[in-house]
Amino acid sequence: MKVALISVHGDPTLQAGGKDAGGMNIYIREVAHRLKSEGIEIDIFTREHNRQEELEEEFEALNIIYINAGDPDIDKTGIFSDLDKFVEGVLNYSSRQNQSYELIYAHYWLSGVVAIELKNAWNVPVITSFHTIQGIKKENFPFNKDNQEREKQERIISLQSDSIIVWSSHEKKFIEQNFGVKPSKISVIPPGVDLDLFHPINIQEARRKIQMQERIRTILYVGRIERLKGLDMLLKALSQIHHEDTFLYIIGGMYNVEEVNRLKKICIDLNLNEKVHFIGSISRKQLKYYYNSADLHVLPSYYESFGLSVLESAACGKPSIASKVGGLPSIIRDNETGFLLEQRSLDSLIKKIEILLNDKELSETMGRAARKQAENLDWDIAINQLKNLFDKLTSK
């Protein structure tokens, strides 16, 4: 089987945590690599960019075709007007190579727009994964801004796709109720986690690997630095935790200058300069040492469609504290593998952090339970479900 995977703004080889690069990039990389090992050929189509210095490593197993569609510096909110050029570029590549595809697999709404045009040209089925949906973000995040076309296009894509893959039942319910899509057309197939890469390591050994002080308490955040992630609440919580030896490590790209400056000003105002470390983007091979060096992981987002960092932290045997939104309740079992925050309460966040910092036995018990749960979210399960869906659509 030959599949055209469309990821307009997301080059899967870009280092996660940078501009427009996060869990979706990691997901595409893993899916493409693992499907190829199952005999499914994947051509990944993405936009040309000038961010070669941000590529994490070479992925020889991935066949990535870069399409020239607009200014390479444009971020994802400005790409919509160049999507016709992207479609043209994909069609030209297919014609030049005399290459046909049995299935189109689109990621994010921009790719969905492209996929529907390609469906009409090639007469093959389309699977769409939105990763985030504008209507859900607006419900949860008061500062949300995006292309005004997005909501309209997400409805069209939902109705014209042959199948939709979501990561949580919450997202499935939203699409059914708001876009009028039949439940049978929507499959809940959450990502897996690389259990070979992310696994428990002795905390002192991990800290020595990244030259972190061994006798401190460490809170970890992993993800893009943007307002949606709610880091300001975590900083306020840290300022009220009365342990001199407690530090926060923030892993994520520093490209969003406005948000980074806002957070650093909060650090100054709350006298946290010595307690907060902005690490920037790092390789995933290095990331495992930060997870294992932490006492706990926190993700106080306004909204997350899934929350891959929570799953990776769990695989490393660490408990997480996260907002009770989107797909996060499908990963964290409240009071067993970590804590879920009702309505992003600052007081609740402070209380939960102090519980885990002060009760080492509880933290370790939750960490072991988190690892056990992560083992049930192995990639093999997700890949088998994807293969079955591919076979179903292409056998019609």
Q: For residue 253, what pLDDT is reported?
A: 82
Q: For residue 19, what pLDDT is reported?
A: 60
Residues with Cβ < 8 Å from 212, sequence gap 6 or more?
206, 218, 249, 293
Look at residues 9, 140, 125 and name the one whose alpha carbon lies nearest to residue 78: 9
Give the C-alpha separation, 379 to 385, whole Å: 10
Give the C-alpha separation, 297 to 284, whole Å: 16
Q: For residue 77, what pLDDT is reported?
A: 76
Residue 8 has pLDDT above 80, yes or no: yes
Q: What is the pLDDT of residues 200-219, one digit of tens each?
A: 999 999 999 999 998 999 99
Look at residues 29, 363, 59 and name the one whose alpha carbon lies nearest to residue 194: 29
Helix (H) or strand (E) holding 335: none
Give the C-alpha separation, 184 to 187, whole Å: 8
pLDDT band per the 50, 70, 90 thresholds, residue 58:
low
Q: For residue 144, what pLDDT is reported?
A: 75
Q: What's the whole-model pTM score? A: 0.89
Residue 60 has pLDDT above 80, yes or no: no
- CA distance to 104, 164, 393, per residue, from 183 (Å): 21, 10, 16
Strand order in the sheet with 320-323: 276-280, 246-251, 217-222, 296-299, 320-323, 338-341
Q: For residue 18, what pLDDT is reported?
A: 56
